[in-house]
Amino acid sequence: MRYLPLTGDDRAAMLAAIGAASVDDLFADVPVAARLPGPVDLPHHLGEWEVENSIGAMAAKNRHSGIMASFLGAGAYRHHVPASVDHLIQRSEFLTSYTPYQPEIAQGTLQYLFEFQTQVALLTGMEVANASMYDGSTACGEAVEMARRVTGRNRVVLSGNLHPHYAEVVKTLGALHDTAIEQPAPAPAGEGDLAPVIDQATAAVVVQYPDVFGHIRDYSALARAAQAAGALLVVVVTEVVSLGALVPPGAMGADIVVGEGQGLGVGLNYGGPYLGLFATRQKYVRQMPGRLCGETVDAEGRRGFVLTLSTREQHIRREKATSNICTNSGLCSLAFTIHLSLLGEAGLTHLAALNHARAVEAAERLAAIPGVTLATPAFFNEFTLKLDRDAAAVVEALVGKGILAGVPGARLWPGQAALADHLVVAVTETNTPAEIQGFAAALAEVLA
Amino acid sequence: MMNRQGRPTAPGTNAAAKVDTVLGHRGLDHEEALIFEQGQAGRSGVDLPPVPAVQSRLGNLARQGGIGLPGLSEPQVVRHYVRLSRRNYAIDMGLYPLGSCTMKHNPRLNEKLARLPGFADLHPLAPLSTVAGAVELMGTLAHWLKVLTGMPAVALSPKAGAHGELCGIIAIRAAHVARGEGETRTRILVPESAHGTNPATAAYCGFAVDPVPATADGRVDLAALKAKLGPDVAAIMLTNPNTCGLFERDIREIADAVHGVGGYFYCDGANFNAIVGRVRPGDLGVDAMHINLHKTFSTPHGGGGPGSGPVVLSAALAPFAPLPWVVETEGGFELAEAAAGASFGRLTAFHGQMGMYVRALAYMYSHGADGLAQASSDAVLAANYIQARLADVMTAAFEGPCMHEALFDDRFLKDTGVTTLDFAKAMIDEGYHPMTMYFPLVVHGAMLIEPTESESRESLDEFIAVMRRLAEAAQAGEVERFTGAPHYAPRRRLDETAAARKPVLRWTPPPAAKAAE
């Protein structure tokens, strides 16, 4: 076995040093009835070439975004990741290191986490950010839990236009604490004002920006209404590139901003690993979940970085911790940080403008097709089309033409007939003008 | 001695004296400013096509003013992160003896396969007709996990070990609710030696945490456990092999006793790597157990994640598993995403850590049933070898063989003026990452050493020689070697108290730059 260095002679010599007759002796504490008499019923070991062949064959069965023209979004976005990002994150010292609990020999990880936290704070317009969560949806769940702690209240208002998976995560956690959760039905043409739903028992109001259909709107008034009632406004951003073009949620008065950072550096990966972003106000920092990296000095007075405020965390506080989270998305936060460092201010704003322009071109072209209406007048790089028929069937027909047309309503809201004719379409810099034209022509053909 | 050019041929007597370098670099160890302290406005490391002229649809939400990000070219960014990388320890550089964290070799084949476009460039909401291979991979991984654990079901989606704990405890809660006992099952038993995530998870789910004491031989006190059982007990959360590196001999009695009062047995599977292919948790009475793919099945730790924590479930808990799940059909596998039956709902968007599934399955295929059992055996052998070879100079916490990690306490440092922390920091000077220390809490000054199966005998012997020499140095009164350590790392000890007292959690522009804005 290529990964196991010990030889038969090594094993014999080691057993002799231990004073054991066989390795089985070392397992003597295992109840006899629970010891497997022989190997389990699975295949024997394979060489690299064989493993590559069999797993490569599975990969080859997927019709992925590279070989299809993809307009899929709804929480995961295809952006070009520069080659240097993947090269750098595969450096042994990043890839194969542990959580930086020994800061003297983990300054590499700690410094990039400090940079990451700064970048997330700048993008969201918030004062502080943590060192990452698992993904956007779990960050959203944690934001609601944090709002419950901060306010001591147990009622939550969710926008109907919050990504349904995110809402389901909040509901899963809320069920543990009998949290009262109010959520209006999804409103593809744009949601009404949530302020009237806020009351004196409300811990948090959760909205998405851009929302799941792609609508963008100003939440400043909602922030004021929430805060007047003693509640926190949580803003969810699933497409982080949008923050290169849009007024940041912090400028609208958000108390917590959570997001999915996958769009920068990480890739699609069929849903994971992804990167949860979590930012808030300085005054709430001791209520935050997850790891935080802070600046300090070493014994010689040189600047250095450490994990800090760990009295919030499970390994110190155990049952009194703010969350049970331990492992986060370290390497994904590195990919994000490198990609954003490569883009810089000029690159990110250019990338965001390009995404918006391509999306506007696509939306106008598609909405001109008979049977298609644009449901989202203001959007960033994702919009919703109302079709004159079931969108899932249209998507399936377009698969046959080499196009992943978007996410149909039935996929996001199974069983909700009113949304079945809606199609959520995302357009990024990876969609060429020719692809957009091809999509429009194919959709017109299918709907004709 | 000089050669004929007048150059010295051996280090001078002053070789050890510290030289103040111009920029603070020390040879290959470069001081590196934050990315925000570098760069120029208008510079970028990415070239993009021009933006077509369109009528903006951003309205009054178009961003006004700058973000504050620095501008750097690609060579600058590459150099910055390469320099940072060189300030990290890594398993690729040396033995990483972190007990309970399982730092084993990360095969590069697995990285290559996870990056195949068929997996890496696949959208989670792509039509199911286009993702047959992804679902097949998930189904195959599920099959291997079920066979290796002897359990009938698995929930793949948890994002890490602690998320898997959450999954298991929510499923247990749902099972009690379904029996009409949701209100009365309020207590979860957690041994004192448990990982911090166990009590944190139980409390996060609204349960009272009731600690169970350990016996003098480092195992759960069965009598004390039985005395705590009652109709209000929802579950026990038990790590096995436990955090002392020992197999719980009474495991089946513990499971029977908990089941006897209607509770469930949650097993923390962080240490599953000790028994894979030799013992199946399903034969021990386990109802739910998370598997850290980033420990047992070698997916890289990546400086703190991403992990992956699939949870195997007993028949009693399987109906409550979270969405989505993979269904085995006659023709292959299908993905079920819509709410069905008793499922407790969703733990995360999409399907979990696909990239980690690919790596873990590649690891399983590479080892096979034979190699997985051999890996467990070698991991246990290596830990026992270390325990045996250090027993006369350090103090083992418990008698008898250990499993995959060797636990020492700090009795051998008594009256030396050297603490466990000092000892750990001296290991840094010797080129090693310290072992896990001060955990488990039940052992004074604990040092938990897990070598894993990835180390050769030569590597183990070197490590043992270093540890022996350090133990002797501590006993010989060479205190400065320890209390001043590390001497040779990129940083000396860092002031963690100052960091926490006045937290600086982000870079802010210096005052002059602020004024110029």
B50 is a domain residue: no
- Nearest-CA distance from A161 to chain B in Å? 15
Q: Does B288 lie in the same domain as B145?
A: yes
Token pair recorded at residue A14: 């080691």
Nearest to A83 by CA among A223, A267, A319: A267
d(CA B235, CA B255): 10
Q: Does B360 lie in the same domain as B389?
A: no
d(CA A308, CA A294): 6
- Cβ-Cβ contacts under 8 Å, B311 against chain A: none
Identify the pLDDT of residue B329.
87
Report pLDDT digits (tens) over A396-447: 999 999 999 999 999 999 999 999 999 999 999 999 999 999 999 999 999 9
Q: Does B128 lie in the same domain as B229?
A: yes
The 10 Å Cβ neighbour count of residue A307 is 23
Nearest to B80 by CA among A91, A325, A77, A247: A91
Report pLDDT digits (tens) over A146-205: 999 999 999 999 999 999 999 999 999 999 999 999 999 999 999 999 999 999 999 999
Q: Does B453 lie in the same domain as B334?
A: no
d(CA B292, CA A141): 22
* Domain CATH number, residue B297: 3.40.640.10
B429 is a domain residue: yes
Q: Does B299 lie in the same domain as B439?
A: no
d(CA A184, CA A172): 18
d(CA B236, CA B265): 5
Identify the pLDDT of residue B16.
52
B470 within 8 A of B443, measured Cβ to Cβ: no
| Rg from Cα positions in chain B | 27
- Nearest-CA distance from A196 to chain B in Å? 23
Identify the pLDDT of residue B510.
86
Percent of chain A with pLDDT over 70: 100
Token pair recorded at residue B16: 């050890």
Report pLDDT digits (tens) over B199-238: 999 999 999 999 999 999 999 999 999 999 999 999 999 9
- Nearest-CA distance from A300 to chain B in Å? 7
Domain tally for chain B?
A: 2
Dihedral angle computed from the Cα positions of residues A271, A272, A275 and A278, in that order, rounded to the nearest 10 degrees = 70
Full DSSP string of B54-91 = -----GGGB--S--------HHHHHHHHHHHHTTB--T
pLDDT at B12 > cutoff 90: no
Judged by CB atoms closer than 8 Å, whether chains meet at A56 and B425 is answered as no
Report pLDDT digits (tens) over B249-297: 999 999 999 999 999 999 999 999 999 999 999 999 999 999 999 999 9
B300 within 8 A of B324, measured Cβ to Cβ: no
- Cβ-Cβ contacts under 8 Å, B132 against chain A: 61-62
pLDDT at B517 > cutoff 50: no
Judged by CB atoms closer than 8 Å, whether chains meet at A308 and B91 is answered as no
Residue that wins the pLDDT comparison between B510 and B254 = B254
- Nearest-CA distance from A252 to chain B in Å? 10
Return the residue matching tokens 């696509």: A362
d(CA A302, CA A433): 52
Domain end residue (candidates: B331, B365, B399)? B365
pLDDT at B11 > cutoff 60: no
Contacts of B100 (CB under 8 A, 6+ apart): B195, B243, B270, B271, B405, B436, B439, B448, B450
The kind and range of the H/E element at B125 are: none
A176 within 8 A of A148, measured Cβ to Cβ: no
Mean of per-residue pLDDT scores for chain B:
94
Q: Does B480 lie in the same domain as B349?
A: no
Judged by CB atoms closer than 8 Å, whether chains meet at B199 and A318 is answered as yes
Phi, psi of B516 (to 5 degrees): -75, -20
Nearest to A252 by CA among B58, B61, B514: B61
B116 is a domain residue: yes
A vs B: CB pairs below 8 A: 714
Q: Does B284 lie in the same domain as B255?
A: yes
Judged by CB atoms closer than 8 Å, whether chains meet at A268 and B120 is answered as yes
d(CA B31, CA B15): 22
Identify the pLDDT of residue B331.
81
* Burial class of residue B10 in the structure, from the number of CB atoms within 10 Å of its CB (0-12 exposed, 13-18 middle, 19+ buried): exposed
Report pLDDT digits (tens) over A227-257: 999 999 999 999 999 999 999 999 999 999 9
- Cβ-Cβ contacts under 8 Å, B206 against chain A: 176-177
Identify the pLDDT of residue A277.
98
* pLDDT range class, residue B198, cuts 50, 70, 90: very high
Judged by CB atoms closer than 8 Å, whether chains meet at B368 and A29 is answered as no
* Domain CATH number, residue B479: 3.90.1150.10
Identify the pLDDT of residue A316.
86
Q: Does B271 lie in the same domain as B178?
A: yes
pLDDT at B1 > cutoff 60: no
pLDDT at B23 > cutoff 60: yes
Report pLDDT digits (tens) over A212-226: 999 999 999 999 999
Pick the residue from chain A with its C-alpha nearest to B359: A55
Q: Does B317 lie in the same domain as B233?
A: yes
d(CA B438, CA A329): 25
B486 is a domain residue: yes
pLDDT at B38 > cutoff 60: yes
Pick the residue from chain A with its C-alpha nearest to B307: A327
Domain range spanning residue B180?
111-365
- CA max distance for chain A: 83
Domain end residue (candidates: B365, B383, B402)? B365
Does the pTM of the predicted model rise above 0.95? Answer: yes
Identify the pLDDT of residue B514.
53
Q: Does B389 lie in the same domain as B324?
A: no
Query: CA dist B281 to A35, A234, A388, B364, Å?
Result: 10, 41, 54, 18
Identify the pLDDT of residue B3.
63
Pick the residue from chain A with its C-alpha nearest to B145: A42
B13 is a domain residue: no
Contacts of B20 (CB under 8 A, 6+ apart): none
pLDDT at B381 > cutoff 90: yes
Token pair recorded at residue B132: 């047959």
B176 is a domain residue: yes
pLDDT at B515 > cutoff 70: no
Nearest to A277 by CA among A163, A134, A145, A127: A134
* pLDDT range class, residue B350, cuts 50, 70, 90: very high
Judged by CB atoms closer than 8 Å, whether chains meet at B89 and A97 is answered as yes
Mean of per-residue pLDDT scores for chain A:
97
Phi, psi of B104 (to 5 degrees): -105, 170
Report pLDDT digits (tens) over A94-139: 999 999 999 999 999 999 999 999 999 999 999 999 999 999 999 9
Return the residue matching tokens 């992160």: B81
| Rg from Cα positions in chain A | 25
B37 is a domain residue: no
3-class SS letters over B448-514: EECCCCCCCHHHHHHHHHHHHHHHHHHHCCCCHHHHCCCCCCCCCCECHHHHHHCCCCCCCCCHHHH
Token pair recorded at residue A327: 């492992």
Report pLDDT digits (tens) over B434-447: 999 999 999 999 99
Report chain A's terminal Cα–Cα distance, integer Å.
60
d(CA B28, CA B210): 51
Identify the pLDDT of residue B35.
97
Query: CA dist B90 to A132, B97, B296, B450, Å?
Result: 21, 11, 17, 15
The 10 Å Cβ neighbour count of residue A2 is 13
Q: Does B338 lie in the same domain as B264?
A: yes
* pLDDT range class, residue A66, cuts 50, 70, 90: confident
Report pLDDT digits (tens) over B126-166: 999 999 999 999 999 999 999 999 999 999 999 999 999 99
d(CA A423, CA A403): 14
pLDDT at B340 > cutoff 50: yes
Domain end residue (candidates: B336, B365, B394)? B365
- Nearest-CA distance from B497 to chain A in Å? 9
Name all domains of chain A by residue range, CATH numbers in brackets: 8-56 (no CATH), 70-78+345-447 (3.90.1150.10), 83-339 (3.40.640.10)
Report pLDDT digits (tens) over A267-293: 999 999 999 999 999 999 999 999 999
Report chain B's terminal Cα–Cα distance, integer Å.
60
Report pLDDT digits (tens) over A339-373: 999 999 999 999 999 999 999 999 999 999 999 99
Q: Does B458 lie in the same domain as B394?
A: yes
- Cβ-Cβ contacts under 8 Å, A13 against chain B: 457
